[in-house]
């Protein structure tokens, strides 16, 4: 009797799992990309909110750098194995782009199908938007206590910078464009190296930590000019949220209409960075020769995993 009840309960669980489980691989990929972006953004933005509203008492600029680096690593863990729709850059199993510039560069260089780009961008936007809404809800009282209920983009108690990036007072649009192109180019150049199985790739399973450390390095070295957005969807999702939530259209007018720079420049930088790595390094790898007839395959075993697990298409 007990054994029969246990078998029945097990069958019910399997049936429920089968009914709940999403079969469409494209939808599963989109959900994983949304959730991974949300995880990255909610931790990152929370760290900014804590530093700003705490007036430095609960962290400094380095806290934000560390938080975003760790948040990226965790986001990769959440969405890095979402599906097997297509081999994509940076990871064989996508769901961990979390960055429209990465997705765009992947399409340009043929490691992601163009028809999947809208799915990635939409998922990243939704994840970033929801993360901003969550952070505002969690820190609502803290934000209003800090600014006295006056939600502003600039000034001594500005709070819009908690959610999106804005240029430093000295930074011109052209200077900011160069800043974002450079930062994103370095991001993609290093990501290309980390994922190149014929160079010095990350140890298997170590990719999230390596990518997180890379983002930490960029934040600590290229962050003072405009907050190192290096990610279009990371910036525009929270910016749209702040426009709706009470900061108004000033979030788009501020910084001499700065909003478009974090949208366009990272995409340019991503193509430049990936292209430089391919042109100067990847294209010059020695060709892999197939074993001739009657030749033992033993000498070629070392190269087999490189072709089998390669993430990038030359």
94 contact partners, CB below 8 Å, separation of at least 6: 29, 33, 79, 80, 82, 83, 85, 86, 88, 112
Tens-digit pLDDT profile for residues 173-198: 999 999 999 999 999 999 999 989 88
CA torsion angle for 238, 244, 250, 252 (degrees, to 10)? Answer: 50
> For the residues 197-221, what does the mean pLDDT come to?
91
Question: What are 230-247's pLDDT values in tens digits?
Answer: 999 999 999 999 999 999
| Integer Cα distance of 159 and 49 in angstroms | 8
pLDDT digits (tens, 9 = 90+) for 12-28: 666 766 777 888 888 88
- pLDDT band for 9, please (50, 70, 90 cuts): low
From CA 216, how far away is CA 229, in angstroms rounded?
12
Q: Supply the pLDDT for residue 11.
A: 65
What percent of the chain shows pLDDT beyond 90?
70
Enter the pTM of the model.
Answer: 0.84
What are the chain's domains? 25-285 (1.20.1080.10)
* Residues contacting 69, CB < 8 A, separation 6+: 212, 213, 215, 216, 219
Q: How do residues 108-129 score in pLDDT, each as one tens digit?
A: 999 999 999 999 999 999 999 9
**pLDDT number for residue 135:** 98
Average pLDDT, the chain: 86
When pLDDT is averaged across residues 56-78 and rounded to a whole number, the result is 95
pLDDT at 197 (0 to 100): 87
Number of Cβ atoms within 10 Å of the Cβ of 56: 10
What pLDDT shows up at residue 300?
Answer: 39
Work out the pLDDT band at 297, boundaries 50, 70, 90. very low
- d(C-alpha 60, C-alpha 212), whole Å: 19
Give 88's DSSP letter. -
117: number of CA atoms within 13 Å, CB side?
A: 17
pLDDT of residue 127: 97
For residues 287 and 67, give the distance between their C-alpha atoms in angstroms, rounded to a whole number: 41
- CB proximity list for 247: less than 8 A, separation 6 or greater: 151, 152, 153, 159, 160
């Amino acid at each position: 009797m007990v054994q029969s009840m246990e078998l029945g309960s097990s069958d019910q669980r399997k049936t429920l799992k089968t009914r709940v489980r999403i079969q469409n691989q494209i939808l599963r990929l989109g959900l994983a990309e949304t959730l991974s972006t949300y995880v990255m953004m909610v931790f990152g933005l929370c760290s900014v909110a804590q530093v700003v509203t705490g007036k430095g008492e609960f962290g400094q600029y380095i806290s934000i750098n560390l938080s975003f680096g760790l948040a990226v690593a965790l986001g990769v863990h959440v969405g890095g194995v979402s599906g097997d729709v297509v081999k994509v850059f940076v990871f064989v199993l996508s769901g961990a782009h979390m960055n429209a510039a990465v997705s765009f560069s992947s399409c340009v260089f043929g490691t992601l199908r163009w028809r999947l780009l809208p799915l990635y961008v939409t998922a990243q936007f939704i994840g970033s938007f929801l993360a901003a809404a969550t952070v505002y809800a969690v820190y609502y009282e803290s934000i209003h206590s800090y600014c006295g209920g006056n939600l502003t983009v600039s000034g001594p108690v500005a709070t819009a910078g908690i959610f999106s990036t804005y240029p430093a007072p000295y930074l011109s649009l052209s200077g900011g464009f160069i800043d974002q192109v450079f930062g994103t180019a370095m991001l993609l150049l290093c990501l290309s190296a980390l994922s190149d199985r014929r160079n010095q790739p990350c140890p298997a399973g170590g990719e999230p930590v390596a990518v997180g450390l890379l983002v930490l390095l960029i934040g600590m070295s290229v962050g003072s000019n405009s907050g190192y957005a290096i990610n279009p969807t990371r910036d525009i999702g929270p910016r749209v949220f702040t426009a709706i939530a009470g900061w108004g259209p000033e979030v788009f007018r501020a910084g001499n209409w700065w909003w478009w720079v974090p949208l366009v420049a990272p995409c340019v930088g991503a193509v430049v960075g990936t292209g430089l790595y391919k042109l100067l390094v990847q294209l010059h790898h020695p060709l892999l020769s197939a074993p001739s007839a009657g030749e033992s395959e033993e000498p070629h075993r070392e190269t087999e995993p490189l072709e089998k697990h390669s993430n990038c298409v030359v």
